[in-house]
Amino acid sequence: MKQYLVIAVSSLLSALIAVTAYRYFEPSKEVVIRETVSARYTNFDQMDVSKQRNFLSSAPTNFIAASERVIPSVVNIKTIQGGGGFELWGGAAVGSASGSGVLVSADGYIVTNNHVIEDSDEIEVTLNDKREFKAELIGTDPSTDLALIKIEGEALPALEFGNSDSLRVGEWVLAIGNPFNLESTVTSGIVSAKGRSIDILEGQDRIESFIQTDAAVNPGNSGGALVNTNGELIGINTAIITRSGRYEGYSFAVPINLVRKVIRDLRDYGVVQRGILGVFIDEMTNERARELGLKAVEGVYINRVTPGSGADDAGLQKGDVIMGINGIKTKTLPEMQEQLGRYRPGNAVKVDIVRAGQEETIEVILKNKSNSTALVSGKNEDILLDLGFELRELTRQEKRRIQVEGVKVISIYRGSRIERTNMDPGFVITKVDNQPVATVEEMVDYLERTSGKVMLEGVYENYPGEYYYAFAMD
């Protein structure tokens, strides 16, 4: 045992002596540790600026400031429909509906959905602070499902408009409504898609280019605000896709850049001034893109140009592919409709096209449905709708061919007073009660001032002689 202990002690002493000797004779060294790879994005000189996406509205992920800013501007809307029916005990049958709206001016203009106030006899508005008002209907636009109403007030908390064109897929947004007098509901989500069409609106003039989000929107939130995280209004919540009747992850809003133009028209004219390009169009397909030699399956294909339209005057042709409007790309049909929906008759737009493989930009003067650059008023549409026909001015080519001045009947509504005269579409009205007319506005002005029996005189392009049709004004 003693022998093993001596060996162990000897070994330990030997090791200590060796280490001490090494440290005594070996020169000292300084060891410096350095980072051999430079840190990325430590200053602006090193940053790849081309990869930055710095949007003020996307910066915060704290939604408190935006919510506090927006909530006072979102109102509850209750509508009452008299109906005209009767209940069992003899009282009038009354229906009601509820939705949301957004204050867009300090003097009381409110934007909401058309379907929220449709067929209403009375509109009641409750602000977030519990004040109640009776609202006046200013105008509606079923083509975008928007409506403008007004309450009497001053210094009301109007919401600031943002820029829906600057939105990016993946950006945070808030959906804020005021349903069922719950004061407010705030939900958050991201932009899932832009320029989305879901085929919920009716009519040839419909514009569906929705912002799709996954922010929860339930019944009663229709007409409410979609805002960015800076608290700016960038859309009006309009619809959801659902099988259960409840929110399932798909909500849709009208972009504010389109809303701004629609409500301005409703305020100023009572009707939307729709600028029309004058082309029949199709979505781009993979096969067609390949035939045309396009680099990507995008753009809108022109398959026909309306004679006398702005497109015809500017030289657009069948086979052209529209790639952008005023410098903004229009990869799909809804995107193009949204851009054109922002302009009035008489506005000039620059249309970027591809023709025979070559890129061109052509300036087009937009016209209205009557093929005129004149703005229309609510009375135009009301009187013509009541009589049952649509009119437009003659084109230059038609005037040369027919050798007359007048307005052309482009459609007649079934069951209307005009249909009962046996008039056919294509009739060119040259005189009303022996008074010459050259524009739709002239004819509407005359009809508005007259009463009793009215005589229309005119011609058909392919039939000889003059024709006469009579009807009675109310």
The reported pLDDT for the residue numbered 87 is 47
Question: Which residues are catalytically annotated?
Answer: 115, 145, 222
**Tens digits of residue pLDDT in 192-248:** 999 888 777 766 678 888 999 988 887 778 899 999 999 999 999 988 766 666 666
Q: Which of the two residues, 91 and 227, has the higher pLDDT score?
A: 227
Q: What is the DSSP letter of 143?
A: T
Domains 64-150 and 279-365 agree in fold: no
Q: Which of 277, 251, 273 is nearest to 264 (CA)?
A: 273
Q: How many CB atoms lie within 10 A of CB 419?
A: 15
> pLDDT > 70: what percent of the chain?
79
Per-residue confidence band for 421, with pLDDT thresholds at 50, 70 and 90: very high
Exposed e or buried b for every residue in 185-216, given b needs 16+ CB within 10 A?
bbbbbebbebbbbeeebeeebbbbbbbbbbbb
**Rounded CA separation 115/129 (Å):** 25
**Rounded CA separation 328/67 (Å):** 31
Instruction: Show contacts of 358-365: CB within 8 Å, 24+ apart.
Output: 359/323, 362/314, 362/315, 362/316, 363/314, 364/277, 364/310, 364/311, 364/313, 364/314, 364/316, 365/310, 365/313, 365/314
Which residues have C-beta within 8 Å of that of residue 364, sequence separation ≥ 6?
Answer: 277, 310, 311, 313, 314, 316, 348, 349, 350, 351
Stretch among 193-207, 317-331, 396-410, 452-466 having the lowest mean pLDDT: 193-207
Mean of the pLDDT values across residues 156-175? Answer: 92
Per-residue confidence band for 7, with pLDDT thresholds at 50, 70 and 90: low
Q: Is the pLDDT of residue 61 over 80?
A: no
Mean of the pLDDT values across residues 386-391? Answer: 86
Arithmetic mean of pLDDT over the chain: 81
Exposed e or buried b for every residue in 34-46, given b needs 16+ CB within 10 A?
eeeeeeeeeeeee
Which residues have C-beta within 8 Å of that of residue 266, sequence separation ≥ 6?
Answer: 138, 139, 140, 141, 146, 147, 148, 272
Q: Which of 161, 143, 138 is nearest to 226 (CA)?
A: 161
Parse the chain into domains and list their residue ranges. Answer: 64-150, 164-269, 279-365, 378-473
User: What value, to the nearest 5°, has the Cα angle with vertex 307 and ends 301 and 310?
Assistant: 70
Superfamily of domain 64-150: Trypsin-like serine proteases (2.40.10.10)
Continuous segment of H or E residues that includes residue 333: helix 333-340
**Tens digits of residue pLDDT in 349-362:** 999 999 988 999 99
Q: Which of the two residues, 379 and 340, has the higher pLDDT score?
A: 340
- pTM here is 0.68
The CATH code of the domain at 164-269 is 2.40.10.10
Mean of the pLDDT values across residues 368-377? Answer: 70
Q: Is the pLDDT of residue 140 over 50?
A: yes
Mean of the pLDDT values across residues 250-274? Answer: 90
Q: Which of the two residues, 71 and 28, has the higher pLDDT score?
A: 71
Q: Is the pLDDT of residue 459 over 60?
A: yes
Mean of the pLDDT values across residues 158-166? Answer: 91
The CATH code of the domain at 378-473 is 2.30.42.10
Question: Quick one: tokens of 465?
Answer: 């002689």
Amino acid code (one letter) for 174: L
The reported pLDDT for the residue numbered 209 is 83
**Rounded CA separation 199/209 (Å):** 10
The CATH code of the domain at 279-365 is 2.30.42.10
Residue appearing with tokens 């922010």: 215
Per-residue confidence band for 125, with pLDDT thresholds at 50, 70 and 90: very high
Continuous segment of H or E residues that includes residue 81: strand 74-81
Stretch among 9-18, 29-38, 101-110, 260-269 having the lowest mean pLDDT: 29-38
